[in-house]
Chain A
Amino acid sequence: MAFKGQIVIDIDRCKGCGLCVEACPMHVIELSKHVNGKGYNYSEATGDGCIGCASCAMVCPDGVISVYKVKC
């Protein structure tokens, strides 16, 4: 069974530490070239390979990632 996922990042609270980028097994998270109000290059989802595993959310120190997941 395969899953499709989507993450929603609260970019205003993201500090751009990059731990989610490292944790993502599908390599579909990157640090943005843009910065948020605090000056951090926030994380953003790229591509459509997310499987909703929530590894990114697990390692996020600031709890800014919500994960959505459906079977497909």
Chain B
Amino acid sequence: MANLDIVKPENLVYTKTKVLTDATMHYCPGCGHGTAHRIVAEVIDEMGIQDQTIGIAPVGCSVLAYNYFDVDFEEAAHGRAPALATAAKRLNPDLFVFTYQGDGDLAAIGTAETIHACNRGENITMIFINNGIYGMTGGQMAPTTLIGMKSQTTPRGRNIERNGYPLRITELLATLPGTYFVSRQSVHTAAAVRKAKAAIRQGFENQKLKKGVSFIEICSSCNSGWKMTPVQANKWMEENMFPNYPIGDIKVDGKLVESVDINRIVVDHPLSVVK
């Protein structure tokens, strides 16, 4: 039985933040982008900085992110979001500037812009969605695609000799002195979402300190690209993505987290089969 007598404004404990517009997102059912958008918007809402925030959208699935955030937004060319953010922040040091990019955008075509923005220690927050695939263009190999993982351009699985290794750009960036906070989170369970949101909040709060880049990776699933159901994709992500891309803080307050083995490289992890 529904408890309709509970549905009163004074009992409301959770609803969509007003920092998200009412536009229906174009993302596939179950896509992590929507959840990542929501928690970034909630952080902006809770910090009361909607009128002081500039977002930078990427190219890829989240190219239209600007339609969903009710904040001022610049749309970058592929991979260039960190360059845009660099200037936006330097010319507007009192505003909060964040980038939102996927793995192809941030870790392939925009690698130079990513590394140099991080190395300069720009006072920005970078949100990085890693789902191991190019979603928008139809599921091709990304720099983060796992060894053995199938994609439209690795139909027999990613092969080291042909395609090289999955790029752990988040660990790479953590070694740069310009990054102040580096964390890898996920948004596939309620607990994970709460932790990811806390990391994003930290990332935005850090802009007040002017101590460098706050970089938050969201390890996410792409159920369409992976050709699984949303629930299967999240399970497969836990079993296969997390060993390569372990969840947790990597760098806090400008110091690498001691328990994190930043040099750990997983190349021979056997991929599980979707049941």
Instruction: Give the distance in Å from the alpha carbon of A36 to the alpha carbon of B110 in the complex.
Output: 39
A17 touching B230 by the CB < 8 A rule? Answer: yes
B3 touching A54 by the CB < 8 A rule? Answer: no
A69 to chain B, nearest CB (A): 5
Chain B residues within an 8 Å CB radius of A6: 2-4, 6-7
User: For residues 35 through 72 of chain A, which have their beta carbon under 8 Å from a beta carbon of chain B?
Assistant: 40, 45, 47-48, 50, 52-70
B13 to chain A, nearest CB (A): 5
B187 touching A67 by the CB < 8 A rule? Answer: no
- Mark B109-150 against chain A: 1 for CB-CB distance below 8 A, else 0: 000000000000000000000000000000000000000000
Instruction: Give the distance in Å from the alpha carbon of A57 to the alpha carbon of B13 in the complex.
Output: 10
Instruction: Give the distance in Å from the alpha carbon of A70 to the alpha carbon of B3 in the complex.
Output: 10
Chain B residues within an 8 Å CB radius of A60: 34-35, 38
Chain B residues within an 8 Å CB radius of A64: 16
Instruction: Give the distance in Å from the alpha carbon of A51 to the alpha carbon of B196 in the complex.
Output: 23
B6 touching A62 by the CB < 8 A rule? Answer: no
Residues A19 and B16 in contact in the complex (CB < 8 Å), given A6-B2, A58-B193, A61-B32: no
Chain B residues within an 8 Å CB radius of A18: 30, 229-231
B194 touching A8 by the CB < 8 A rule? Answer: no
User: For residues 21 through 52 of chain B, which have their beta carbon under 8 Å from a beta carbon of chain A?
Assistant: 24-25, 27-35, 38
B231 touching A66 by the CB < 8 A rule? Answer: no
Is A27 engaged at the interface, CB distance under 8 Å to the other chain?
Answer: no
Partner of A61, one of B1, B3, B33, B189: B33
Having A19-B234, A52-B13, A63-B16, one finds 16 other A-B pairs with CB under 8 Å, namely A4-B3, A4-B6, A5-B13, A8-B7, A17-B31, A17-B230, A18-B229, A23-B189, A53-B190, A58-B193, A59-B190, A60-B38, A61-B33, A62-B27, A62-B34, A66-B14
- 4 smallest CB-CB distances across A and B, nearest first, come from A61-B34, A17-B30, A15-B29, A55-B190
